[in-house]
Amino acid sequence: MKIFNTRASLSEFLKKEKADGKKVGFVPTMGALHHGHISLIDLARKQSDLVVCSIFVNPTQFNDPKDLDRYPRPIDEDIQQLEKAACDVLFLPEVDEMYTAGETWHLELDELDNLLEGLHRPGHYQGVTQIVKKLFDTVEPDFAFFGQKDYQQFLVIEKMVQKLGLNVQLIMCPIIRKPDGLAMSSRNVHLNPEERKNALALYHTLDWIKAQFELLSIKELKEQAEKKLLESPGIVLEYLEICDGENLQPLHSKDAVKIVALVAAKLGQTRLIDNMLLKN
Protein backbone atom coordinates (compact mmCIF):
# COMPACT_ATOMS: atom_id res chain seq x y z
CA MET A 1 0.00 0.00 0.00
CA LYS A 2 1.34 3.42 -0.99
CA ILE A 3 0.95 6.25 1.54
CA PHE A 4 0.75 9.90 0.50
CA ASN A 5 0.71 12.92 2.80
CA THR A 6 0.26 15.74 0.27
CA ARG A 7 -2.48 16.48 -2.21
CA ALA A 8 0.02 17.20 -4.98
CA SER A 9 1.89 13.90 -4.67
CA LEU A 10 -1.33 11.86 -4.53
CA SER A 11 -2.87 13.72 -7.47
CA GLU A 12 0.27 13.21 -9.58
CA PHE A 13 0.30 9.46 -8.82
CA LEU A 14 -3.41 9.02 -9.59
CA LYS A 15 -3.20 10.93 -12.89
CA LYS A 16 -0.65 8.36 -14.12
CA GLU A 17 -2.84 5.46 -12.97
CA LYS A 18 -5.92 6.95 -14.64
CA ALA A 19 -3.93 7.48 -17.85
CA ASP A 20 -3.59 3.69 -17.93
CA GLY A 21 -7.38 3.42 -17.87
CA LYS A 22 -7.76 2.49 -14.20
CA LYS A 23 -11.03 3.28 -12.44
CA VAL A 24 -10.54 4.76 -8.95
CA GLY A 25 -12.73 3.85 -5.98
CA PHE A 26 -12.49 6.16 -2.97
CA VAL A 27 -13.35 5.54 0.70
CA PRO A 28 -13.01 8.72 2.81
CA THR A 29 -12.74 8.05 6.56
CA MET A 30 -11.71 9.69 9.82
CA GLY A 31 -9.82 6.57 10.88
CA ALA A 32 -10.45 4.39 13.94
CA LEU A 33 -11.35 1.81 11.34
CA HIS A 34 -13.69 -1.12 12.03
CA HIS A 35 -15.39 -3.83 9.95
CA GLY A 36 -17.87 -1.26 8.63
CA HIS A 37 -15.05 0.71 7.00
CA ILE A 38 -13.37 -2.47 5.75
CA SER A 39 -16.66 -3.53 4.11
CA LEU A 40 -16.47 -0.28 2.09
CA ILE A 41 -12.90 -1.13 1.05
CA ASP A 42 -14.06 -4.61 0.00
CA LEU A 43 -16.90 -3.20 -2.11
CA ALA A 44 -14.55 -0.62 -3.64
CA ARG A 45 -12.13 -3.39 -4.63
CA LYS A 46 -14.92 -5.24 -6.45
CA GLN A 47 -15.97 -2.18 -8.44
CA SER A 48 -12.67 -0.38 -9.03
CA ASP A 49 -9.16 -1.04 -10.35
CA LEU A 50 -7.50 1.10 -7.69
CA VAL A 51 -8.79 1.68 -4.14
CA VAL A 52 -7.89 4.90 -2.31
CA CYS A 53 -8.72 5.40 1.37
CA SER A 54 -8.22 8.68 3.22
CA ILE A 55 -7.80 9.09 6.96
CA PHE A 56 -8.33 12.65 8.16
CA VAL A 57 -10.00 13.78 11.38
CA ASN A 58 -11.65 16.87 9.95
CA PRO A 59 -11.79 19.73 12.48
CA THR A 60 -14.42 21.79 10.62
CA GLN A 61 -17.17 19.19 11.14
CA PHE A 62 -16.85 19.13 14.94
CA ASN A 63 -18.95 21.76 16.69
CA ASP A 64 -17.70 20.50 20.08
CA PRO A 65 -13.91 20.85 20.62
CA LYS A 66 -14.03 18.14 23.31
CA ASP A 67 -15.56 15.73 20.81
CA LEU A 68 -12.69 16.47 18.40
CA ASP A 69 -10.12 15.88 21.15
CA ARG A 70 -11.75 12.58 22.17
CA TYR A 71 -11.98 11.20 18.64
CA PRO A 72 -9.86 8.00 18.51
CA ARG A 73 -6.75 8.04 16.31
CA PRO A 74 -5.15 4.54 16.28
CA ILE A 75 -3.23 5.16 13.04
CA ASP A 76 -0.84 2.18 13.25
CA GLU A 77 -3.73 -0.25 13.69
CA ASP A 78 -5.62 1.49 10.86
CA ILE A 79 -2.69 1.04 8.48
CA GLN A 80 -2.46 -2.65 9.36
CA GLN A 81 -6.17 -3.12 8.69
CA LEU A 82 -5.95 -1.36 5.31
CA GLU A 83 -2.96 -3.45 4.27
CA LYS A 84 -4.79 -6.62 5.27
CA ALA A 85 -7.82 -5.47 3.24
CA ALA A 86 -5.57 -4.94 0.17
CA CYS A 87 -6.20 -1.20 -0.04
CA ASP A 88 -3.93 0.27 -2.73
CA VAL A 89 -3.44 3.84 -1.54
CA LEU A 90 -3.77 5.69 1.78
CA PHE A 91 -4.02 9.47 1.83
CA LEU A 92 -2.92 10.69 5.28
CA PRO A 93 -2.66 14.49 5.33
CA GLU A 94 -2.12 16.92 8.19
CA VAL A 95 -4.61 19.72 8.86
CA ASP A 96 -2.42 22.41 7.29
CA GLU A 97 -2.28 20.33 4.08
CA MET A 98 -6.07 20.51 3.74
CA TYR A 99 -6.81 24.00 5.10
CA THR A 100 -5.35 27.49 4.87
CA ALA A 101 -5.80 30.16 7.53
CA GLY A 102 -9.00 32.21 7.28
CA GLU A 103 -10.62 29.88 4.77
CA THR A 104 -14.43 30.08 4.48
CA TRP A 105 -17.03 27.78 2.93
CA HIS A 106 -20.80 27.69 2.58
CA LEU A 107 -22.93 25.47 0.37
CA GLU A 108 -26.71 25.75 0.21
CA LEU A 109 -28.04 22.29 1.11
CA ASP A 110 -31.81 22.86 0.79
CA GLU A 111 -32.64 22.33 4.50
CA LEU A 112 -30.68 19.06 4.76
CA ASP A 113 -28.21 20.72 7.14
CA ASN A 114 -30.96 22.22 9.34
CA LEU A 115 -32.76 19.07 10.48
CA LEU A 116 -31.89 15.95 12.52
CA GLU A 117 -28.07 15.84 12.71
CA GLY A 118 -27.83 19.33 11.25
CA LEU A 119 -30.12 20.70 13.95
CA HIS A 120 -28.24 19.00 16.79
CA ARG A 121 -24.77 19.69 15.36
CA PRO A 122 -24.88 23.18 13.80
CA GLY A 123 -22.32 23.64 11.03
CA HIS A 124 -21.50 19.93 10.92
CA TYR A 125 -22.53 19.35 7.31
CA GLN A 126 -20.87 22.51 6.07
CA GLY A 127 -17.64 21.02 7.47
CA VAL A 128 -18.41 17.65 5.88
CA THR A 129 -19.04 19.12 2.42
CA GLN A 130 -16.00 21.38 2.74
CA ILE A 131 -13.62 18.48 3.32
CA VAL A 132 -15.28 16.00 0.96
CA LYS A 133 -15.10 18.54 -1.87
CA LYS A 134 -11.36 18.97 -1.22
CA LEU A 135 -10.88 15.19 -1.15
CA PHE A 136 -12.88 14.71 -4.36
CA ASP A 137 -10.85 17.45 -6.05
CA THR A 138 -7.63 15.70 -5.02
CA VAL A 139 -8.58 12.08 -5.75
CA GLU A 140 -11.01 12.69 -8.65
CA PRO A 141 -12.59 9.27 -8.03
CA ASP A 142 -14.89 7.42 -10.41
CA PHE A 143 -16.74 5.94 -7.42
CA ALA A 144 -17.01 7.03 -3.77
CA PHE A 145 -18.27 4.66 -1.08
CA PHE A 146 -20.12 5.74 2.07
CA GLY A 147 -21.88 3.78 4.80
CA GLN A 148 -25.64 3.87 5.29
CA LYS A 149 -25.12 4.43 9.03
CA ASP A 150 -24.45 8.08 8.22
CA TYR A 151 -27.62 8.23 6.10
CA GLN A 152 -28.07 11.99 6.28
CA GLN A 153 -24.42 12.55 5.43
CA PHE A 154 -24.89 10.51 2.23
CA LEU A 155 -27.85 12.69 1.19
CA VAL A 156 -25.82 15.82 1.97
CA ILE A 157 -22.89 14.67 -0.17
CA GLU A 158 -25.32 13.61 -2.91
CA LYS A 159 -26.80 17.12 -2.82
CA MET A 160 -23.30 18.64 -3.07
CA VAL A 161 -22.44 16.45 -6.07
CA GLN A 162 -25.66 17.54 -7.81
CA LYS A 163 -25.26 21.24 -7.02
CA LEU A 164 -21.61 21.44 -8.07
CA GLY A 165 -21.93 19.07 -11.02
CA LEU A 166 -19.17 16.74 -9.79
CA ASN A 167 -18.34 13.71 -11.92
CA VAL A 168 -18.39 10.94 -9.31
CA GLN A 169 -20.79 8.06 -8.67
CA LEU A 170 -21.79 7.79 -5.00
CA ILE A 171 -22.50 4.34 -3.58
CA MET A 172 -24.32 3.80 -0.28
CA CYS A 173 -23.16 0.61 1.45
CA PRO A 174 -25.15 -1.38 4.06
CA ILE A 175 -24.76 -0.86 7.80
CA ILE A 176 -22.43 -3.46 9.35
CA ARG A 177 -23.59 -4.62 12.76
CA LYS A 178 -22.19 -6.65 15.61
CA PRO A 179 -23.85 -10.08 16.02
CA ASP A 180 -26.20 -8.58 18.65
CA GLY A 181 -27.26 -5.77 16.29
CA LEU A 182 -25.20 -2.80 17.48
CA ALA A 183 -24.17 -0.66 14.50
CA MET A 184 -20.39 -0.51 14.20
CA SER A 185 -19.02 2.95 14.99
CA SER A 186 -15.62 4.40 15.82
CA ARG A 187 -17.26 5.91 18.92
CA ASN A 188 -18.22 2.51 20.35
CA VAL A 189 -14.76 2.25 21.95
CA HIS A 190 -15.86 4.92 24.45
CA LEU A 191 -18.78 2.81 25.77
CA ASN A 192 -18.26 1.08 29.10
CA PRO A 193 -19.79 -2.45 29.41
CA GLU A 194 -23.08 -1.16 30.84
CA GLU A 195 -23.41 1.56 28.18
CA ARG A 196 -22.55 -1.00 25.48
CA LYS A 197 -25.41 -3.20 26.71
CA ASN A 198 -27.84 -0.28 26.95
CA ALA A 199 -26.94 0.89 23.43
CA LEU A 200 -28.70 -2.17 21.98
CA ALA A 201 -32.01 -0.39 22.66
CA LEU A 202 -31.39 1.73 19.55
CA TYR A 203 -31.22 -1.29 17.25
CA HIS A 204 -34.04 -3.15 19.01
CA THR A 205 -36.32 -0.10 18.67
CA LEU A 206 -35.55 0.35 14.97
CA ASP A 207 -36.11 -3.37 14.44
CA TRP A 208 -39.45 -3.11 16.27
CA ILE A 209 -40.51 -0.21 14.02
CA LYS A 210 -39.69 -2.27 10.93
CA ALA A 211 -41.60 -5.29 12.26
CA GLN A 212 -44.67 -3.15 13.06
CA PHE A 213 -44.48 -0.95 9.96
CA GLU A 214 -47.41 -2.52 8.13
CA LEU A 215 -49.58 -2.71 11.27
CA LEU A 216 -49.37 0.78 12.79
CA SER A 217 -49.59 4.35 11.50
CA ILE A 218 -46.49 6.56 11.29
CA LYS A 219 -47.78 8.52 14.30
CA GLU A 220 -48.30 5.34 16.36
CA LEU A 221 -44.91 3.91 15.38
CA LYS A 222 -43.11 7.11 16.36
CA GLU A 223 -44.96 7.58 19.65
CA GLN A 224 -44.51 3.99 20.82
CA ALA A 225 -40.86 3.82 19.69
CA GLU A 226 -40.03 7.07 21.48
CA LYS A 227 -41.71 5.72 24.62
CA LYS A 228 -39.57 2.56 24.44
CA LEU A 229 -36.37 4.58 24.21
CA LEU A 230 -37.33 7.10 26.88
CA GLU A 231 -37.94 4.16 29.23
CA SER A 232 -34.69 2.39 28.26
CA PRO A 233 -31.92 2.58 30.92
CA GLY A 234 -28.96 4.82 30.15
CA ILE A 235 -30.46 6.30 26.96
CA VAL A 236 -30.73 10.08 26.61
CA LEU A 237 -32.77 10.41 23.43
CA GLU A 238 -32.01 13.31 21.07
CA TYR A 239 -34.40 12.36 18.30
CA LEU A 240 -36.28 9.52 16.70
CA GLU A 241 -37.89 10.35 13.36
CA ILE A 242 -39.60 8.48 10.54
CA CYS A 243 -38.78 10.38 7.37
CA ASP A 244 -38.97 10.50 3.62
CA GLY A 245 -35.78 8.70 2.58
CA GLU A 246 -35.15 11.16 -0.25
CA ASN A 247 -35.14 14.43 1.72
CA LEU A 248 -35.59 13.51 5.44
CA GLN A 249 -38.78 15.50 5.78
CA PRO A 250 -41.02 14.04 8.54
CA LEU A 251 -43.88 11.85 7.26
CA HIS A 252 -47.51 11.53 8.24
CA SER A 253 -48.38 8.80 5.73
CA LYS A 254 -46.62 5.86 4.07
CA ASP A 255 -46.94 7.18 0.51
CA ALA A 256 -43.25 8.08 0.07
CA VAL A 257 -41.19 5.87 -2.26
CA LYS A 258 -38.47 5.45 0.36
CA ILE A 259 -39.01 5.64 4.13
CA VAL A 260 -36.30 5.56 6.81
CA ALA A 261 -36.33 5.61 10.62
CA LEU A 262 -33.43 7.50 12.20
CA VAL A 263 -32.34 7.78 15.83
CA ALA A 264 -29.68 9.63 17.84
CA ALA A 265 -29.00 9.27 21.55
CA LYS A 266 -26.33 9.75 24.18
CA LEU A 267 -25.05 7.00 26.44
CA GLY A 268 -22.89 8.64 29.08
CA GLN A 269 -20.51 10.89 27.15
CA THR A 270 -20.90 8.99 23.88
CA ARG A 271 -23.32 10.01 21.15
CA LEU A 272 -24.56 7.29 18.78
CA ILE A 273 -26.70 7.35 15.65
CA ASP A 274 -28.45 4.55 13.78
CA ASN A 275 -31.13 4.09 11.13
CA MET A 276 -33.14 1.47 9.30
CA LEU A 277 -34.87 1.51 5.92
CA LEU A 278 -38.56 0.71 6.32
CA LYS A 279 -39.56 1.01 2.68
CA ASN A 280 -37.33 1.15 -0.39
**Residues labelled catalytic:** 37
CB distance 26 to 141 below 8 Å: yes
Cα diameter, the chain: 58
Distance CA(26)–CA(170), nearest Å, equals 10
Distance CA(20)–CA(102), nearest Å, equals 38
267 pairs with which residues across the strands?
270
- Of 130, 128, 133, nearest in space to 150 by CA: 128
Contacts of 210 (CB under 8 A, 6+ apart): 261, 276, 278
Q: How many helices (H) and strands (E) does the chain have?
A: 11, 9
